[in-house]
Amino acid sequence: MLNAVIFCRHGETESNLGGWLAGSRDVSLTDRGRAQAREAATALAAGKQPVTIIYSSPQRRALETAAILAESLNLPVVPVAGLEERRWGDLEGNAIPADLLREEVPNGESLTGFHSRVTVALDGLPVPQDGRPPLIVAHAGTWPVLCRWLGIDSSLLWPPNASPILLTREGVGAM
């Protein structure tokens, strides 16, 4: 089991700008989102935690962010099924509701099901032989599941777009 990861939420998308739920919709990055990913790559290259592999949600916005990071850092990207954002069903394309932690959504994925799916995906990630934390590029909804999986509390509801954050079993660390 992994004891540390670097998490990077995908760069800005049109849904982020518009304040609506993308969920399972395969939206792409904005120009600003691509610039954010390039800035994240610069921060990762200059950081104290070298990265040797990138695991990414297979959704376009995450893969696009991961590809920008990978090109800059000269690393492979491994898409990981299960790291996709929660499927919000009838709520997708609409304004972000105040009760994001509700268990059920109409024609969507339950919160419990989403947490289970992401946890299974995280459990399946191999521990890098070099002992360095892998970089995981995913979504806002992945953040609290990842924190719970590592056994830590975070005051962040979700991290900003394309801002790498070191997470260890001891807590949230500096990059």
State residue 34 phi and psi, 5-degree precision.
-70, -40
Per residue in 88-135, pLDDT (tens digit) is 999 999 999 888 889 999 999 999 999 999 999 999 999 888 889 999
pLDDT for the residue numbered 129: 86
Does 28 carry a binding-site annotation?
no
Does 142 carry a binding-site annotation?
no
Is the pLDDT at 174 greater than 80? The verdict is no
Tokens of 1: 């089991």
Calpha distance 53→78 (Å, rounded): 8
Calpha distance 69→134 (Å, rounded): 13
The CATH fold assigned to 4-173 is Rossmann fold (3.40.50)
Type of residue numbered 138: A
Region 48-58 average pLDDT: 91
Using 50, 70 and 90 to split pLDDT, how confident is the model at 175?
A: low
Calpha distance 87→93 (Å, rounded): 11
Active site residues: 10, 85
Does 16 carry a binding-site annotation?
yes
pTM greater than 0.85: yes
- Listed by start position, the domains of the chain span 4-173
First to last CA, the chain: 21
